[in-house]
Structure 1
Amino acid sequence: MSDRRRRPLTARGLGALVLGVLFTIAANIVSAPILVYVAVLLFILTAFAVLAVYVPRRSGTVTRQVSTDLLTVGEESRVAVRFALRSLRIPHGLWRDVLPDAVTGSASGEYPPDSGVLRYPITGVRRGVWPVGPLILRTVDPFGLAQREQAFGDTRTVTVVPEVIPLAPLAAHWGAAGGTAHTASSRLGQGSDNLSPRHYVSGDSMRRIHWRATAHRGELMVRQEEEESSPDAIVVIDRAAGRWARADRGVDPAFEAAVSACASIALHLATEGYSVDVVDSAGSVIGTLRGHEDDRDELLVALAMLAPRGEARDLATIVGGTPPGPLVVITGRIGAADHSVLHHGGAAVPILLATDPAPEVITAASASGWTSAVLTDDISASWELALPERMLSGGGRVPR
């Protein structure tokens, strides 16, 4: 807890002091002692007001709960603040929670609240990890002459992740088998659920005996789990500093669209049955999607903190051979000289999305086997234009 630097007197309190000084001067000029008494009364009231708000010792604890672990850009969530104030008396005033520019919300109200809990909505505006707090309590004396603001508690971080946009299915444009998972059987130990029987081996749990298969074959059979594996897909987001606006110019809408597109495409491919690797233009792995519950959140958190930096490497080096499934590259400002972006290494389905490509890049990409489109704020439309079936004979379609 700490007192914030704010003038101790309200506008009314300053007016009372000024009026007291004027009465004192007027009393000497017009020889009216009554004005001196009035001035002294104003001074005493002002001093009493300051003492009333600053003398009481106050301390408190603050805990915050956000209704969602990860706040998506454009999504509304609710914050519940439990504020335990220790003081001689419960003050009446106004509270507000300090919010970063990346989050909007009506984080203020009257204190004490009727419910005992301070609640307010917040909406994600810009991705990143941002501090919320501290809690500010502003109290004013009964005469409205003095005021006091105090900050209570520490900050709590809120992670704002990029928006995930629904996309058209890739399988419908490339082939129904594109993302269909295939199975590979392997023997697993005790505790696995079975999908097919196999012969009993020493160490298998009796609970896993497949009694129907045992009766049919006349020998002990146990349940065997079939592991599912999926075709691989690679999503590359080009974060090379030269592709995007300079960091000192503020938020780059093109890069924000690229990050949102990266999250949307990666999660979309995962739902179509692919094992997805998300890497940046330097070859660093940002996230992987293998069907685990935490994969999605880990990828979104990593993308929430992504920023342009460094130089781009040759795409073939990043991919490391021929990708077995779709290869999606998301980039920014590219020209005809950026040949490294167009080396897809023989991928079966290479898709290129660029926010600011030179006209000849689309033609060159088409000649190299890419399907491509300009990435705009309408990520869903850009994705559909880049799908293989949507490609024009002379090159990728560019949204107007």
Structure 2
Amino acid sequence: MSAQGDPSGFRTGLRGLTTRGRSFLAAGVAAVLCSYLLGQEALLRVGVLLAALPLAAALLLLRTRYRVASGRRLTPHRAQAGQEARVHLRVDNISRVPTGLLMLEDKVPYVLGPRPRFVLDRVEPRGFREVSYRVRSDLRGRYPLGPLQLRLTDAFGMCELTRSFSAADTLTVVPQVQALPEVRLAGEWAGYGDSMARSVALAGDDDAVPREYRHGDDLRRVHWKSTAKYGELMVRREEQPQRARATVLLDAREIGHRGSGPASSFEWAVSCAASVGNHLLERGYQTRLLTDNGTQVPAPNAVGAGGSVSESIGLLLDSLAVVQHSQGSGLARAEEVLRLGGEGLLVAILGSLDDEQVANLGRLRRRAGAAVAFVLDTGTWAGLRRVFPDAGDHESDRQLRLLREAGWTVLAARAGDSVAELWRMADRHAQSAGDGSPVHKGASA
């Protein structure tokens, strides 16, 4: 992007006069008037000089013919909440004359901090200057950076003109992601494999389905039974490794969460979904994010949904960076999506539930190869159980018991709990050493 120092119109220069320039101009006009009233020629010369200085500075600034280009670079483009990102600015003088004093101001949202300002001295022809500043946000989201504003001033500080570049960038602040340990879940298999005897959790591409013959196919792969059935030459598909599927269900209902801001139960749930989704994608799972209103990421049949692991992680985190509360009262839409295609590993991050929702989740468990539920004790985020943190809620305990009886691996989460520690408790070997019901530890309500 570029800005040119040749604005049209002398009025623009007059509007750009600084307080100093206006004071000089006013003093010069006053001195000229007094010279006529008092008949003092010396005072007239002083007044003309005082008035001519700011006007000459404005005219000189208007007639400046240098061109300035600017670029911006973010490191990183995608930052976690609470993590600093650095913005690098570069200003190039692409004209043949040196610049004067330049003042830069980049426009940033208030949640990222104050607007950064820089003063650059003379930039030689074809030269450049680089500056940088840091931004940080505890709130996830997408924040625009720019456009960059350039202020031109003369050597005496009499006149100042502002020019804005057109380009802007976007900083994406994603939820905090915790590294999760490797665990083996009840009914779960690894992300990749080639065994046809695996459970329905894999649900990979069907390698036994033949396809039509194409020029160049090996005739030894002709599937004669299908050829006789369809009346045209059919060949067997090439064997491909199956890929396990996983669904991360995020309960975003506003009525299902408590607290506000970064310390709310909803933000903990979003961070949990990001951590689990990132972990499963790194293990080779074909992972999708599903919210309570039925939204899926990546969308069904989306172009590029089968990209690299890094691209899939980026898509997941970008979606979680902007996810907001839903106004729904139940999980019906998400349950419908899972009924149509809920095979594989199911990890649900749930807020407050009622008995009907617990019963529906119990029925959905039958379609999944493995099912893990993070059930948030949202009252601890609202500070309702600080006096007696070990006092059990009989209604919540009953719901957790029903989910376990339906086959879910239930992890009860409280404010301050670590996602990694809860995930470790889901290990089937750790559960087999006990009664199969993970015991909550380390709650800091």
Q: Does the alignment reach a TM-score above 0.5?
A: yes
Residues 67-106 of structure 1 aligned to structure 2 (within 5 Å): 67-73=75-81, 74-79=83-88, 81=90, 83=92, 85-86=94-95, 90-101=99-110, 103=112
Residues 278-317 of structure 1 aligned to structure 2 (within 5 Å): 278-287=289-298, 292-293=308-309, 294-311=311-328, 312-314=330-332, 316-317=335-336
Give the whole-Å Cα distance in 2 for the aligned partners of 1:244 and 1:318.
23
Identify the residue that residue 118 of structure 1 maps to in structure 2. 130
Pick the aligned partner of 2:268 from 257, 269, 278: 257
Q: Is residue 350 from structure 1 mapped to residue 353 from structure 2 by the alignment?
A: no
Give the whole-Å Cα distance in 1 for the aligned partners of 2:377 and 2:91.
45
Q: Deviations over 1:212-245 (max 9, x none)?
A: xxxxxxxxxxxx9753324433211122344458
The question of whether the paired residues in 1 share the 8 Å contact of 2:258 and 2:378 is answered with no
Judged with a 3 Å threshold, the aligned counterparts in structure 2 of structure 1 residues 99 and 231 are, in CA distance, closer, same or farther, namely same
Judged with a 3 Å threshold, the aligned counterparts in structure 2 of structure 1 residues 154 and 272 are, in CA distance, closer, same or farther, namely closer
State the secondary structure of the residue aligned to 2:194.
strand
Structure 1 range deviating more: 119-128 or 299-308: 119-128
Calculate the aligned-residue CA RMSD, in Å.
Answer: 4.5
Give the whole-Å Cα distance in 2 for the aligned partners of 1:188 and 1:83.
60
CA apart distance, 1:367: 1.2
CA apart distance, 1:284: 1.8
The question of whether the paired residues in 2 share the 8 Å contact of 1:95 and 1:136 is answered with yes
Judged with a 3 Å threshold, the aligned counterparts in structure 2 of structure 1 residues 252 and 177 are, in CA distance, closer, same or farther, namely closer
The question of whether the paired residues in 2 share the 8 Å contact of 1:60 and 1:152 is answered with no
- What is the letter of the counterpart of residue 308 of structure 2? H
Give the whole-Å Cα distance in 2 for the aligned partners of 1:101 and 1:67.
19
Give the whole-Å Cα distance in 1 for the aligned partners of 2:413 and 2:13.
50
- What is the letter of the counterpart of residue 118 of structure 1? E
Judged with a 3 Å threshold, the aligned counterparts in structure 2 of structure 1 residues 322 and 373 are, in CA distance, closer, same or farther, namely farther
- What is the letter of the counterpart of residue 179 of structure 1? A
The question of whether the paired residues in 1 share the 8 Å contact of 2:66 and 2:99 is answered with no
The question of whether the paired residues in 2 share the 8 Å contact of 1:95 and 1:111 is answered with no
* TM-score for both structures, normalised by structure 2: 0.65
* Aligned positions, number: 366
* TM-score for both structures, normalised by structure 1: 0.71
Identify the residue that residue 213 of structure 1 maps to in structure 2. none
Residues 140-289 of structure 1 aligned to structure 2 (within 5 Å): 140-171=153-184, 174=185, 178-179=189-190, 181-184=192-195, 186=207, 201-202=218-219, 227-243=240-256, 254-287=265-298
Identity of aligned residues (%): 20
Structure 1 range deviating more: 286-295 or 235-244: 286-295
The question of whether the paired residues in 2 share the 8 Å contact of 1:286 and 1:303 is answered with no
Judged with a 3 Å threshold, the aligned counterparts in structure 2 of structure 1 residues 234 and 106 are, in CA distance, closer, same or farther, namely same
State the secondary structure of the residue aligned to 2:128.
coil
Identify the residue that residue 216 of structure 1 maps to in structure 2. none
CA apart distance, 1:252: 7.8
- Whichever structure has more strand as a proportion of its residues is 1
Give the whole-Å Cα distance in 1 for the aligned partners of 2:307 and 2:239.
15
The question of whether the paired residues in 2 share the 8 Å contact of 1:97 and 1:135 is answered with yes
Judged with a 3 Å threshold, the aligned counterparts in structure 2 of structure 1 residues 33 and 254 are, in CA distance, closer, same or farther, namely farther
Q: Is residue 363 from structure 1 mapped to residue 397 from structure 2 by the alignment?
A: yes
Give the whole-Å Cα distance in 2 for the aligned partners of 1:341 and 1:77.
49
State the secondary structure of the residue aligned to 2:177.
coil
Give the whole-Å Cα distance in 1 for the aligned partners of 2:13 and 2:249.
48
State the secondary structure of the residue aligned to 2:180.
coil
State the secondary structure of the residue aligned to 1:349.
strand
State the secondary structure of the residue aligned to 1:143.
coil
- What is the letter of the counterpart of residue 163 of structure 2? Q
Give the whole-Å Cα distance in 1 for the aligned partners of 2:38 and 2:50.
19
- What is the letter of the counterpart of residue 263 of structure 1? A
Identify the residue that residue 390 of structure 2 maps to in structure 1. none
Structure 1 range deviating more: 144-153 or 78-87: 78-87
Q: Is residue 327 from structure 1 mapped to residue 329 from structure 2 by the alignment?
A: no
